[in-house]
Structure 1
Amino acid sequence: MAELTAPAAPVSIYAEASPNPESMKFVLNTQFLSEGVSVDYPNLEAATNSPLAQELFNFDYVGRVFIAANFVTITKTTEHQWAHLIPELRSFLKSYVESGGPVFLVDPAAAQKAAQEVAASGSHSEEDQQTSQKIIDLLDNYVRPAVEQDGGNITFKSYQDGIVTVNLQGSCSGCPSATVTLKSGIENLLKRMVPEVKEVVAEGITI
């Protein structure tokens, strides 16, 4: 498959704060991925499919890169202030995208869809599989759009014995308010809409 490259055209970009003080969302007027698809790179080693993410990891203060439809969330690792980092990152992203630099080597959409289908089918019974699909639909339609607004993502991992396991990505990883959001928001929603759900736990929270 050909490299997925953002269109070489004038790019506007702005930085938007997230609930995680260590993460900043950079929103562009170009499309990296289709809606609902995103990729989380917790380190350089994980970014083999994204030349853009690899370039971002060359900045010594970049600790995590999350790429979604039209934005990139960058999580810093140092005590540097965002006021000093934003101009440099914004300038780099603008130049990289305008020059037609490759974003991905292979489209992540197919892999993400396949992973979700495997997660849903991994339940132990047909009833659990149906419950898993209900949960996936609720996460996709009600939870993910709100989480993306904050520069992150949530994906379904498994459902078993009333316990839902999700992955939190991007700015959600390490966010001080992630646990509160998970329990008071996401867990309450799923319990209300899917009576079989007893608890929601998350991977990807590093607080």
Structure 2
Amino acid sequence: KQSIFIQTETTPNPDSLKFIPGVEVLSDGQIMDFPDFKSSQVSPLANSLFKIEGVNRVFFSSDFISVNKYPEQDWAALKPEIYGAIIDFYNSGSPILSEHSSDINTDTTILPEDSEVVAMIKELIETRIRPTVLEDGGNIKYMGFADGIVLVQLQGTCSSCSSSQATLKGGIERMLMHWIAEVKGVVAISDDELNELNLEYFK
């Protein structure tokens, strides 16, 4: 058994904590967001974290796991269970993903059909914006660009954080508008809107 020493770090969202197991979570550069129990089926670890009462979102990066809870739940009660689930998982030797998931960070891959503006937006998100958002235990995903508006999805810690609107408008929107004249604003879409939206329009 490997001895796992898990550190925790707070995030700007009081209902989200970063758990740092000191071993690789996802292989380099990968990130995965599990907004609900159904999405966690591809990962034994995410799945067991969702089985802890009070957990409502899980997010993996290469070196941390962020866990979001419902506001009425107390970290003091949840933390030991989360530690237990992470340690049990690493001692089990199971792969972190039970099947290859298509969600491995391909949103900012620059495609041949991308316009120069879209390529620049993707490049900025990948190199300047995502590293900052990851620091806080979350992620930003590029969803599309239409009529001067960049559509993004905030994941992990950032998804339910009250300061995420400020981050979005203050940091992300300002940076994109500063570097790219064609960008007039940034809009974050929620998981529910994502399910309803026909994204064909933004492709």
Amino acid at match of 1:28: P
Query: Is 2:194 the counterpart of 1:202?
Result: no
Residues 13 and 28 of structure 1 are in contact (CA less than 8 Å); yes or no, is this contact kept in structure 2?
Answer: yes
Query: Could you tell me which of 17, 39, 56 is aligned with 1:24?
Result: 17
Q: Once the 2 structures are TM-superposed, how far is the Cα of residue 66 of structure 1 from its aligned partner?
A: 0.7
- Match of 1:181, SS state, is helix
The 5-angstrom pairing of residues 13-162 of structure 1 reads 13-77=6-70, 79-108=72-101, 111-117=103-109, 129-162=115-148
Higher relative contact order (CA 8 A, sep 6+): 1
Q: Taking every aligned residue pair, what percent have the same amino acid on both sides?
A: 37
CA contact (8 A) 1:14 1:90 kept: no
Distance 1:205 1:173, change over 3 A: farther
Q: Structure 1 residue 178 and structure 2 residue 164: aligned?
A: yes
Closer, same or farther in 2 for the Cα pair 1:132/1:34, shift >3 Å?
A: farther
Superposed displacement of residue 111, structure 1: 4.5
> What is the total number of aligned residue pairs between the two structures?
192
Q: State the one-letter code of the partner of 1:161.
A: D
What runs of 5+ residues in structure 1 fail to find an aligned partner?
1-7
Aligned to 2:196: none
- Local SS of the residue matching 2:42: coil
1:188-207 deviations in Å (ceiling 9; x for gaps): 0001111110000001389x
Q: Distance in 2 between matches of 1:113 and 1:178?
A: 20
Identify which of 2, 21, 24 aligns with 1:9.
Answer: 2
1:174 and 1:205 in contact (8 A); partners too:
no
Question: CA separation in 1, counterparts of 2:177 and 2:136?
Answer: 23
Q: TM-score, normalised by structure 2?
A: 0.85
- The structural deviation recorded for 1:24 is 0.9
TM-score by length of 1: 0.84
Letter in 1 for 2:70: T
Q: Structure 1 residues 56 and 113, CA, compared in 2 at 3 Å: closer, same or farther? A: closer
Does the 8 Å contact 2:10/2:16 carry over to 1? yes
C-alpha contact (below 8 Å) 1:33/1:70 kept by paired residues = yes
- Structure 1 contact 15–86 (Cα < 8 Å) conserved: no
In the TM superposition, residue 113 of structure 1 has moved relative to its aligned partner by: 4.8
Query: Cα RMSD (Å) of the superposition?
Result: 2.2
